[in-house]
Structure 1
């Protein structure tokens, strides 16, 4: 490797340290990438990568429209109605509330792809239900946390359109490709958390169990669950499945399905059209700023690594061993997810730099890209500093460390299973 490649290795280490210290992710990635471009006399390479990522139409449409829909679902109370009707029949199940609540969270997370948003909606209802049933606070929080991997299957999750675009696949085709592995991880989470909680005696109750009322989602005084409104969050997913599997005449893109679902939500929820429109576009803006922002930053970082020659050196090494790529693509994003509390930054950087060369390692882009984002999210699900972990721990008033003690073993098993089976 040349001197620039060795400098790039040092920069990668500094970037990892900065992410662990919780510095702004986009700042860290962009600054690192531009620095490497400058020392490689290729500043325009970094700037061109920034501009190219900004205008990636397939990603912008899918991500921004999904976030817009999520915002209006929250505004109309559709998310709360959905959780209300899912939670009502499960009271009195004892320790089996844990796997049921994990399963409910998993499927709600498909409709509400934000892990924190899903946990806030579900945790506000299900964590108090579990505590009243005698489940210990750490187990109640872990049950919800373990279900926040359902976003794997949402077309609005940034990684699905990102990898699909790279592999030149339709988003729904890519989701269909990794769905068996995503459901496998969900099953491991459901069963694994139940076993760990049973071994730790979490079904024996706690006399000090209570929730932090200040962290619960507050319903407006006039809020009333509406069964029709409860169906709104699943409308876009249903439209995409029906159009792609059963009725080709109804086939549509993610953005179209999200807009149509939002319009139906407006009618069913009888919302104020002006406020409704503002919420939708607030959501699209938030999606661009938070999600597309990380994708853009990862693109600049990748451009810097390419300019410095580190990627070429890394790819040459991986060509010699399929196993190195297999374990690097799983353990790398997983560990970064654990230590940074986010599976996004490391996974996007990996998929931007290494995954396009998957064929050189005897793999497919969809296989290696899917492996990286599934294991990165598994790492986030067992990280004590992840935003969603802190959120559910706050609701249950328990230490995040106690919560991830219940999710760590199942997520580790899931990562190993993915590495062995996906590529």
Structure 2
């Protein structure tokens, strides 16, 4: 009984603290170490004889070292390199050019409600270039918001659409997709193409339709005075580089799909492709500016971005992995399998449980990714023991983790949009909630139908 009470207590406390906006990495790390030391107290073996320090009380710390080494391998390096590339693209202005080029034709459209689904879908497309929801929101508020207001769109409608632009685009460049594919044992491009896209793309179109009708309904029901825009919170770029720079941010994506479809005999991964694209951008920068010292110095932005990837994502994955190791040593995973193996439609049951937990904690804390990074480590083991397709459980949880952010009043993207538009975050959430709920239900239903 104690083997159930201890992990459950630690897990509830960790979930509560994360929901209260304590640092997720620190909480998961402490929870994982606590579980490992509880296992030591119970006389359980943490590491085998080859890996053990020889002192059982030091083995949990050795476990931390082993997890860091493992996660800083292919998956950690991939995420760090992608973060570095994105940072460099932002620094040279390539991301701004891409956004400017794709949004420029929208200035000719004068129908505000026709723009609602268009902006939503275009914004999600732009998340391929700017994966950070808050960064993309600031960029779109600076470039698109004035256009939307000129078309006659209300402040809250424009804010709500922009707040839901970075959600669930299927891309092999997303950190969550890199991790999910690795943990589920599926090649990255295959996971994105054959599993993620068949669920996420129809969901995005359903959300676009929901946005159209919901914003139209809310505009009639809720008349809010236009308070203008806080320009001090915007990052407006005046001098953009040449238009061809807009191609640089999407080069890795183009390389991935061209090589994956037409040159399958070439065995090259995301890391190598990203470095090739970085080299192309560096050469163009050198030729255009003609300043070797300045261009090579700017390369430091790439490495700073890698550091940000380590701090923001890889460290969270390490902390989540430590928590999972603690659950394993406590025997919690085996207990979960034994307790649900006789339940009818156990796959659907697990999908609903994991997705609900992600949605609840994500709504309260403003981010469901910490929950996803924790659970994705144990899902393959649980589903394998129950003969359930891992994708049917992991995919809706992953998509919900990204979607729920746009319906949380404490999420960074909501707070940013509310601050710039001088609106109440709860007013923005009222406008995003229905499209997000429809998106979550769609991912659940499609995942169950296609992969259960």
Indicate the TM-score class for this superposition, using the shorter chain for normalisation.
over 0.9
Deviation at 1:6, TM superposition (A): 0.7
8 Å contact kept, 1:67–1:286: yes
Match in the other structure for 1:153? 170
Match in the other structure for 2:384? 359
**Structure 2 unmatched runs, 5+:** 41-45, 47-56
Deviation at 1:178, TM superposition (A): 1.2
- Rounded to whole Å, the distance in 1 between the matches of 2:442 and 2:200 is 11
8 Å contact kept, 1:163–1:366: no
Q: Select between 15-24 and 197-206 the one with higher mean Cα deviation.
A: 197-206
- Rounded to whole Å, the distance in 2 between the matches of 1:143 and 1:205 is 17
8 Å contact kept, 1:113–1:154: no
- Rounded to whole Å, the distance in 1 between the matches of 2:241 and 2:69 is 40
- Rounded to whole Å, the distance in 1 between the matches of 2:117 and 2:220 is 13
Match in the other structure for 1:320? 342
User: What is the SS of the residue equivalent to 1:113?
Assistant: coil
- Rounded to whole Å, the distance in 2 between the matches of 1:23 and 1:420 is 32
**Structure 1 unmatched runs, 5+:** none
Superposition map of 1:133-144 within 5 A: 133-144=151-162
Q: 1:215 aligns with which of 211, 215, 233?
A: 233
Q: 2:332 aligns with which of 293, 310, 315?
A: 310
Q: Cα distance 1:95–1:256, how it changes in 2: closer, same or farther (>3 A)?
A: same
8 Å contact kept, 1:163–1:365: no
8 Å contact kept, 2:155–2:226: no
8 Å contact kept, 2:117–2:212: yes
Is 1:162 aligned to 2:179, yes or no? yes
User: Alpha-carbon deviations, 1:33-52, whole Å to 9, x = none?
Assistant: 11111111046256425532
Match in the other structure for 2:435? 410
TM-score, length basis structure 2: 0.87
Deviation at 1:308, TM superposition (A): 2.3
8 Å contact kept, 2:351–2:394: no
8 Å contact kept, 1:135–1:204: no
8 Å contact kept, 2:133–2:165: no
Q: Select between 72-81 and 402-411 the one with higher mean Cα deviation.
A: 402-411
- Rounded to whole Å, the distance in 1 between the matches of 2:183 and 2:171 is 18
- Rounded to whole Å, the distance in 1 between the matches of 2:29 and 2:382 is 23
Deviation at 1:218, TM superposition (A): 2.7
Is 1:114 aligned to 2:136, yes or no? no
TM-score, length basis structure 1: 0.93
8 Å contact kept, 1:124–1:395: no
User: What is the SS of the residue equivalent to 2:437?
Assistant: helix
Match in the other structure for 2:51? none
Q: Select between 173-182 and 264-273 the one with higher mean Cα deviation.
A: 264-273
Structure exhibiting the larger radius of gyration computed from Cα positions: 2
Is 1:97 aligned to 2:97, yes or no? no
CA RMSD of the aligned region, Å?
Answer: 2.2
8 Å contact kept, 2:336–2:382: no
Is 1:299 aligned to 2:321, yes or no? yes
- Rounded to whole Å, the distance in 2 between the matches of 1:410 and 1:368 is 22
- Rounded to whole Å, the distance in 1 between the matches of 2:83 and 2:226 is 38
